[in-house]
Amino acid sequence: MKSHLSEEILDILNESPRWVVRMGATYILFLLTMFLAGTWFIRYPEVLKGSVLVTTTSPTIKVVSENEGRMMRLLVQNGSSVRKGDILAEMENRTKLENTPLLQDLLQQTHSFLNEPKKRISFPGHGVTWGDLQTDVLLLSQNYLDFKQIQGDGFEAKQVSNLKTQLKALRQLQAIQARKKDLNTTAFDNTAEGYRTDQKLFSEGIYSRTEFQKKENEYLGKKQGQEDHQENLIKNELKIAEIEQALQQLEYSFLEKQRLALSNINKAAQNIENGLRNWRQQYLIIAPSDGKLAYLQNLTENQFVKSGETLFAVIPYKQDFVAMVDIPVKGIGKASIGQKVILKLDDYPFQEFGTVEGRVLSLAPSVDVKTCRMQVALPNGLKSSYQQNFNCNSEMSGIAEVITEDMRLFERAFYGIRKLLM
C-alpha cells in the first residue's frame, strides 16, 4: 500500500501542470522582450574627455607689474568699471602722481609759448619737487629765462638802431652827392665845349700858348672835379654796403641767439615729456582696455610687488563666453563640428550646480602634438543644467566631455559581438 502511494505521488510530481509551463515561458519571453526593448531605447553616449578653459570671446586682459617695488596706492576698487588709460595703482617713486597735472599744464604752456613767443610761461613755486624730472624742469626754467634775457637786453637793439641811423644818413648823403655830380657834369660839358673852341682858336694862332694853357687848366680842373664826385659816390656806396653787412650780421646773431634759446626750451620740454612717459610706464599700473576690474590676488597698499607679477584682470563689458578644450589625439577622429559638449567646471561642482552645455565650433591641432584644441560655443552662456547662472570673473577651468556618438545599448552590444567575432 505504501509503495503504491509513493508511485502515485511520484507520477503527480513528474507531470508538471501545463498552465505553469505556459506562464513561465510567457514571463521569460516578456522579460527578454523588455530587455531587448530597453537596449533599443536606452542610449549610452560615447565621449572624449579633456580639459577646458572658459573665457570670453573678447579675452580678459591680465595686468602685470612692469617693475618690482612697493605699491604705494591702489586707486581703483575691486569690481569697479574702468576705461582704457585709467590709473589702477601707483608704485613707490620720487615723482608723485599729484604733481603730474602741474607738469602737464607746464608742458601745455611751453608748447603755446613756442608757437607764439610773446606769451609767458608760469612756473610753479619753489616748494614743488619733481623727483626724477627735477633736472629737466630746472633746465626748462633756465632756458626760458635765457630767452627772456635776450629779448630784454637792449644792447643788440641799440646797435641795430645806430647802424640803421648811419645807413639812412649815408643814403641821404649819397643822394646829395649824386645831385652834385649831375650839376658838375653839366658844368663840365659846358667847359669841354669851350675848351674845344679854344683849341681851334689856338690852332689858328688867335690864342697865345699862355692863354690857351690857362683855358686848358680850367678844363682839367672841371674834369678833376668830375672824377672826385665819382670817387665820393663809390666810397659812399662801399660804406653803405659795409654798414648793411654789419646790420645783417647783427640781426642774424640776434635771431640765432633767440632760435638757439627756443630750441633749448623745446628740447627741455621733450625731455620732460619723455621722462613723464617713462615714469608712467615704470611706476603706474594702467588699465589696458575698457571693462570691469578684478583683483587676481589680495592686494593692499604698501604691499611689495615683484616684477612680472599678475595683479589685475580687465573683463570686457560684453561677455560672450567661449570654451577652449584640449582633447587627447587618441580617438579624435570621432570628433566633428556640431557635437554636443558637457562642461563640468571646477568652480561650480556639477553634483551641486549642474553642467554647462556647448557645441563644437572648430578643431585645430594644438602646439602639443599629443592633444587637439577645440573651440566650443556656449549657446546658453553660463547657464547650467540646474538653471543657475555662473559668474566668471576672469577664467574658469574644468573637464569637458565631447559626445561623439549617442549609441543605443543594442548597437553597442552588436559592435561588441562583431569585435569578438573578428
Burial class (CB in 10 A: 0-12, 13-18, 19+), 76: middle
Beta bridge partners of 323: 54, 376
Please identify which residue in the block is written with the cell numbers 547650467: 384
Q: What are the E-state strand segments in 16-68? A: 43-56, 61-64
Cβ proximity of 298 and 325 under 8 Å: no
- Cβ count within 10 A of residue 410: 17
What strands, in cross-sheet order, belong to the sheet with 61-64?
A: 61-64, 310-315, 291-295, 81-82
Distance CA 143, CA 155 (A): 20
CA distance 86 to 71: 16
Q: In what order do the strands lie in the sheet with 303-305?
A: 284-286, 87-91, 69-74, 303-305
| Residue numbers in the chain where pLDDT is lower than 50 | 1-3, 5, 418
Q: pTM of the prediction?
A: 0.53
Q: Which of 306, 288, 286 has its CA nearest to residue 297?
A: 306
Structure confidence at residue 286 (pLDDT): 93
The crossing angle, in degrees rounded to 10, of helices 409-421 and 18-41 is 90
Q: 3-state secondary structure string, 26-45?
A: HHHHHHHHHHHHHHHHCEEE
